[in-house]
Amino acid sequence: MTLKLGELAKALGVKLEGDESLEISRLNEIQVATSQEVSFLSNSKYLKYAKSTQAAALIVPEDMDIEYPNLLRSPNPQQSMLMALKLLNQKVRECQPGIHSTALIDPDVTIPDSAEIGSGVTIGKGVDLGENIILESNVIVGQNSKLGDNTHLYPNVVLYEESILGDNCIIHSGTVIGSDGFGFAVESGEIQKIPQTGNVVLGKQVEIGANCAIDRGSIGATTIGDGTKLDNLVHVAHSVRIGKNCFLTAQVAIAGSSILGDRVQMGGQSGVIGHLQVGNDVSIATRGGVTRDVPDGTMVSGFPARPHRDELRIEAIIQKLPELYKAVKTLEKQVNKS
């Protein structure tokens, strides 16, 4: 999409300083932006690039001290950048209604006229599909599953039986939803499988990245609340309950039957052991290992995870250990001499 700089400023709701007639084709990084592109500068450490960039204009904070021919001064540069991305860069994947000839669909399933069913898609008995659904190549939808309106499943997504997805969900390639949880019992020295009889229920506007595994509940449902986003390579074990508008980044793992409140944020490679409760508005730092319940509004880090300030103090002390060790050895020598 191409916009004049004045039109872009109006769409973003920001103040323009410069030539409103310039045509802008997309948003790009400041280091590589061209004379037809807009870029952004919200961190002062990148100010050096303002001298070399070819960008037609820069999105900057309202109070930034900067000289540049064309500026879009914003009270929230990050939000303005996201809006510009949607306006200029985003290529919306429009639904192309129709059923590919190689799709395998149970004869009892009704396919809405608005749905796009790609090559090699398999749809089991009793499946309920909403409007404007996109199922790309080789998607498998198990029997008695239900998909809400505007849901988009990328190639090779697998939904086991009885999975339920709300409206506007996005599931990326390679993700498996509804596989058996890791439930076993040892009896007389033998490992016996515990039947996994629940399902998975996703709320509205849930997005799940590539190659994630969301296990079905052992008895009830594994649930993920409205608006929650999962990065690639996330594992959610059986009977876990995740609240609304949570962010789980790459390689996060949540063990069975743990509960996450609303607006929980988990950094990469962090985890929660089983049967714990994590409150609302909790932040778990990268590689944080949660081994006990976490109250609302807490930030934790480290392993085992503890309040972030405590972890920082411990890290500071650890950095001084070589110095402390030398001091102790010196004192030992002095004591032995005396």
CATH number at residue 64: 3.40.1390.10
Q: Residue 335: what residue type?
A: V
Count of alpha carbons within 13 Å of 220, Cβ hemisphere only? 7
Residue 32: domain span:
3-89
pTM score of the predicted model: 0.83
**SS3 at position 193:** strand
Domain membership of residue 299 (yes or no) is no
pLDDT, tens only, 12-66: 999 999 999 999 999 999 999 999 999 999 888 888 999 999 999 999 999 998 9
> CB-based contacts of 195: which residues, under 8 Å, 6+ apart?
183, 218
104 plus 217 within the same structural domain: yes
The residue with tokens 């085992």 is: 304
The residue with tokens 């109006």 is: 10
Domain membership of residue 307 (yes or no) is no
Domain membership of residue 216 (yes or no) is yes
Domain membership of residue 168 (yes or no) is yes
Domain membership of residue 207 (yes or no) is yes
- Taking the C-alpha atoms of residue 250 and residue 134, their distance in angstroms, rounded to an integer, is 25
Domain membership of residue 191 (yes or no) is yes
Q: Band of the pLDDT at 330, cuts 50, 70, 90?
A: confident
Last residue of a domain, which of 67, 89, 111? 89
> CB-based contacts of 277: which residues, under 8 Å, 6+ apart?
258, 259, 261, 293, 294
> CB-based contacts of 151: which residues, under 8 Å, 6+ apart?
130, 133, 134, 165, 166, 167, 168, 169, 170, 171
126 plus 216 within the same structural domain: yes
Domain membership of residue 122 (yes or no) is yes
75 plus 135 within the same structural domain: no
- Taking the C-alpha atoms of residue 237 and residue 84, their distance in angstroms, rounded to an integer, is 37
pLDDT, tens only, 249-282: 999 999 999 999 999 999 999 999 999 999 999 9
14 plus 85 within the same structural domain: yes
Last residue of a domain, which of 204, 222, 240? 222
105 plus 46 within the same structural domain: no
160 plus 53 within the same structural domain: no
Last residue of a domain, which of 222, 247, 263? 222
Catalytic site positions: 238
Count of alpha carbons within 13 Å of 97, Cβ hemisphere only? 9
Q: Could you give the number of structural domains in the chain?
A: 2
Give the phi and the psi of residue 333 in degrees, each rounded to 5.
Answer: -65, -40
